[in-house]
């Protein structure tokens, strides 16, 4: 059972009243994102009270009565399926939730959930050793506050660069799945002037990635950037997969992680 609505706090005599919402009919709502942001433990409540858990999936708010749901059930809340979308749990780390994985909302450290399209097309026709001295991070332009906060929260070293008329974000120590020649790399994204209305497309890696099994990766090409030779992966969302207001640099990074994983299955 779920309901998609917002109810303002009316006060309650609990050990963490700031993260509890009491409805007019006496039901209790526990807001998981608020708990996470305030670094609070799950609040105690009186036995027999009806408890709802307020969760966010793809930025949409749902109050669910059950204390756990599977990945498939969470995707169903936003009209999606695990056959076409991956689901990630954000919070303490970044966890991919499989279709039959059960998420217990009573577990500390859950912030929210985000889905990304599973499949990418490859278009038509088609980490190096750390330096002894780490240079200061360059910030040629500001990212959206939510994007910057996400990168900082995940512990990435990141930079923004302007080259000609183009704006780039470079994200260092991006984890590469097992099965490639490196464990970490720098991933770069071209940020369109009209982002986030316009989608972020493709991904660029330095150093170049290859499969340890020697199999060819299709639709790759070199791209000079920041004095280095990045490897451009021609990977694109299918039409309609980018939703302004829902998709962002955050969801693009989640999609890239999925595309790298899917590549190893080819």
Per-residue pLDDT of the chain (266 residues; tens, 9 = 90+): 455 444 333 333 334 445 677 777 778 888 898 888 888 777 776 666 778 899 999 989 999 989 899 999 999 999 999 988 999 999 877 789 999 999 999 888 898 999 988 776 666 544 444 444 567 899 999 999 999 999 998 889 999 999 878 899 999 999 999 999 999 999 999 999 999 999 999 999 999 999 999 999 999 999 999 999 999 999 999 999 999 999 999 999 999 999 999 999 98
- The overall pTM is greater than 0.75: no
Helices and strands, counts by H and E, the chain: 4, 16
Q: How far is CA 66 from the centre of its chain?
A: 24
225-232: which pairs have CB atoms within 8 A and are 24 or more residues apart?
225/163, 225/168, 225/188, 226/161, 226/163, 226/168, 226/170, 226/188, 230/188, 230/204, 230/205, 230/206, 231/204, 231/205, 231/206, 231/207, 232/202, 232/203, 232/204
The three-point CA angle 82-84-85 to 5° equals: 60
């Amino acid at each position: 059972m779920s309901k998609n609505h917002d109810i303002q706090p009316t006060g309650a005599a609990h050990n963490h009243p700031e993260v509890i919402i009491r409805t007019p009919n006496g039901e209790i709502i526990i807001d998981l994102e608020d708990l996470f942001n305030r670094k609070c433990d799950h609040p105690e409540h009186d036995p027999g009270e009806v408890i709802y858990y307020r969760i966010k999936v793809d930025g949409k708010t749902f109050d669910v009565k059950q204390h756990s749901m599977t990945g498939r059930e969470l995707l169903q809340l936003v009209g999606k399926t695990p056959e076409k979308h991956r689901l990630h749990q954000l919070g303490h780390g970044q966890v991919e939730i499989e279709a039959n994985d059960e998420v217990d909302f009573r577990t500390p450290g859950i912030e929210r959930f985000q889905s990304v399209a599973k499949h990418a097309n490859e278009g038509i026709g088609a980490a190096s050793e750390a330096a002894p001295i780490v240079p200061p991070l360059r910030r040629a332009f500001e990212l959206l506050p939510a994007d910057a906060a996400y990168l900082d929260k995940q512990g990435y070293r990141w930079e923004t660069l302007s080259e000609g008329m183009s704006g780039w974000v470079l994200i260092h120590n991006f984890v590469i799945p097992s099965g490639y020649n490196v464990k970490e790399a720098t991933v770069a994204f071209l940020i369109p002037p009209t982002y986030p209305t316009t989608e972020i497309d493709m991904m660029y890696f330095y150093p170049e990635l290859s499969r340890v099994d020697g199999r060819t990766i299709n639709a790759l090409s070199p791209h000079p950037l920041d004095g280095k030779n990045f490897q451009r992966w021609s990977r694109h969302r299918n039409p309609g997969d980018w939703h302004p207001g829902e998709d962002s640099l955050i969801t693009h990074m989640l999609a890239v992680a999925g595309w790298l994983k899917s590549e190893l299955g080819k």
